[in-house]
Amino acid sequence: MIRNTRQRTAVNAVFDELEGFHSAQEVHARMRASGDSIGLSTVYRAVQALVDDGELDSIRTDAGEAIYRRCSTRHHHHLVCRSCGRTEEVEGPTVERWADRVAAEHGFVDVTHTLEIFGTCAACHSAGAPSADQPG
Amino acid sequence: MIRNTRQRTAVNAVFDELEGFHSAQEVHARMRASGDSIGLSTVYRAVQALVDDGELDSIRTDAGEAIYRRCSTRHHHHLVCRSCGRTEEVEGPTVERWADRVAAEHGFVDVTHTLEIFGTCAACHSAGAPSADQPG
DNA sequence: CCGTAGTCGACAACAGTTCTCACATGCTCC
DNA sequence: GGAGCATGTGAGAACTGTTGTCGACTACGG
Ligand SMILES: [Mn+2]
Ligand SMILES: [Mn+2]
Ligand SMILES: [Zn+2]
Ligand SMILES: [Zn+2]
pLDDT in tens, B29-74: 999 999 999 999 999 999 999 999 989 988 888 889 999 999 876 7
pTM: 0.75
pLDDT given for residue B129 in this prediction: 40
* Interface residue A130 vs chain B (CB under 8 A): no
SS3 call for B132: coil
DSSP A53-88: TTSEEEEE-TTS-EEEEEPPSS--EEEEETTT--EE
Of chain B residues 89-128, which have a CB less than 8 A from chain A?
A: 90, 92, 94-95, 98-99, 102-103, 106-122, 125
Alpha-carbon distance of B118 to A106, in angstroms, equals 12
Alpha-carbon distance of B75 to A124, in angstroms, equals 27
Please say if the pLDDT value at position B122 is more than 90.
Answer: yes
Q: Measured in angstroms, how far is the CA atom of residue A97 from the centroid of ligand 2?
A: 15
Through-space distance between the first and last CA atoms of chain A, rounded to whole angstroms: 43
Radius of gyration in angstroms for the set of CA atoms belonging to chain B, rounded to a whole number: 18
∠A45-B61-B65 over CA atoms, to 5°?
85
Please say if the pLDDT value at position A110 is more than 70.
Answer: yes
Of chain B residues 53-72, which have a CB less than 8 A from chain A?
A: 54, 57-60, 62, 64-66, 71
Specify the higher pLDDT residue, B76 or A128: B76
pLDDT given for residue A88 in this prediction: 87
